[in-house]
Amino acid sequence: MSMLTEKQIELRNEIRAFVDSEISPYTVELDRSKEYPREIVNKVGALGYGGLPFSKELGGSGYGIVEGVIFLEELSRGMGSLGFILCASLFQCCYALRDAVSEKQKEQWLMPAIACDKVLTLALSEEIGGSDALGLDTVATRCSDGWILNGSKCCITNAGVADGYIVGAKTNLNSRSRNVSLFYVDASAEGVDDDGRFDMIGLNNSPTGTIKFTNCHLPADALIGVENEGYKPLKSALNCGRLALAAVSIGMAQSALEKSVDFSRACSNFDRSISSYQGVTFPIAEMYMNIGVARNMLYHVAEMTEAGVRCTMETASLKLFSTEMCQKVCRDAALIHGGRGFGSHCDVERLLRDSQLLMVAEGTSQICKVIISDGIYNTPFGKPIQ
């Protein structure tokens, strides 16, 4: 098991206490109302938690990615959809921006996002198929003083509530790999239509929807990084997003485990506590084991990311394992709760609904397997594992 330092354990306990008092008591009610938890996002920002993985120069607290994922785990243990919202803004978007933008752009876009004053989202997926990250129909064409953006994005997290979108668009129609650029688009810009929220099975507090860009004029400095080389910041966004989504999954699975233990202690059948039946305690033991394996992998991949070590395969493996593990843990938790586990009054029912979506967002399980198998067959295999 990866050992956390005393300082990291202290930080985890502090965040856990905050989540237990300020978030968890409102989770069920908020899930029902489907309200976007802006107030809680602001509180998280005011406590400086959004800045945990970022340097002090960027307004962060100078810790690292390990502390960032600990934060997301704890947050998602209280409310998965909140973890999901901040996974998109702080990990996908902030990491896409961190190494690709100028000092002025950092001040305008990155630092307010790190402070949680602004919520950002990556708008990449389109109706033609989100799995092919570079196969886009959205086009940005040059004009005299910038760019004109046209296209439509679907299944976008934080749609309608985000302050800014990081949009992938084609800027070169002649190349397959060097054809996409990333742009920062203010949500209030003319030509941005983000009304198309649709209902999903879960993650109720994280609005998902369609965003359309119709002759949307962007200034020249809306370009993130280098023209036609959007794949570089995009890679950071996708890898950090997958790492963060694993943290969300582990936090939710931890919550399902705790609720199963509490329930099994309190529920009796045939004049005995159901915690005396191995049919109940063995799935709980397996939950504990699988969460531990995923958590160990999470901290390891977070350390690799922090150290700048190439870890695309490891991140895809982590995302695949953690999201599928979370779904299985939540399903077993619902079964342990009997019929109650599938009713809308029960907290594990929410976890079960939420967990389904984690296997699709930020690269489906199949796409993770494509990345892993491509890595196995197309890189010198057998090199020492880091």
Ligand X SMILES: Cc1cc2nc3c(=O)[nH]c(=O)nc-3n(C[C@H](O)[C@H](O)[C@H](O)COP(=O)(O)OP(=O)(O)OC[C@H]3O[C@@H](n4cnc5c(N)ncnc54)[C@H](O)[C@@H]3O)c2cc1C
Q: Is 180 in the site for ligand X (CB under 6 A)?
A: no
Q: Is 155 in the site for ligand X (CB under 6 A)?
A: yes
Q: Is 134 in the site for ligand X (CB under 6 A)?
A: no
Among 129, 279, 308, 380, the residue binding ligand X under the rule CB under 6 A is 129
Among 27, 89, 105, 125, the residue binding ligand X under the rule CB under 6 A is 125
Among 65, 70, 120, 124, the residue binding ligand X under the rule CB under 6 A is 124
The site map against ligand X for 199-238 (x = CB under 6 A) is -x--x----x------------------------------
> Is the Cβ of residue 129 or residue 339 nearer to ligand X in the bound state?
129
Among 108, 370, 372, 375, the residue binding ligand X under the rule CB under 6 A is 370
To ligand X, the closest distance from the beta carbon of 132 in angstroms equals 7
Among 88, 101, 116, 182, the residue binding ligand X under the rule CB under 6 A is 88
Q: Is 316 in the site for ligand X (CB under 6 A)?
A: no
Q: Choose the binding region for ligand X from 20-28, 125-133, 317-325, 335-343 (rule: CB under 6 A).
A: 125-133
Q: Which residue is nearest to ligand X (CB)?
A: 130
To ligand X, the closest distance from the beta carbon of 42 in angstroms equals 21
Q: Is 361 in the site for ligand X (CB under 6 A)?
A: yes
Q: Is 356 in the site for ligand X (CB under 6 A)?
A: no
From residue 204, how far is each of 12, 40, 72, 309, 319 by CA, in Å?
26, 15, 18, 35, 21
Q: Is 378 in the site for ligand X (CB under 6 A)?
A: no
Among 216, 218, 367, 368, the residue binding ligand X under the rule CB under 6 A is 367
> Is the Cβ of residue 11 or residue 159 nearer to ligand X in the bound state?
159
Among 101, 123, 301, 368, the residue binding ligand X under the rule CB under 6 A is 123
Q: Is 121 in the site for ligand X (CB under 6 A)?
A: yes
Q: Is 87 in the site for ligand X (CB under 6 A)?
A: no
What are the residues facing 148 on neighbouring strands?
141, 217
List residues near ligand X by CB under 6 A.
88, 121-125, 129-131, 155-157, 200, 203, 208, 357, 360-364, 366-367, 370
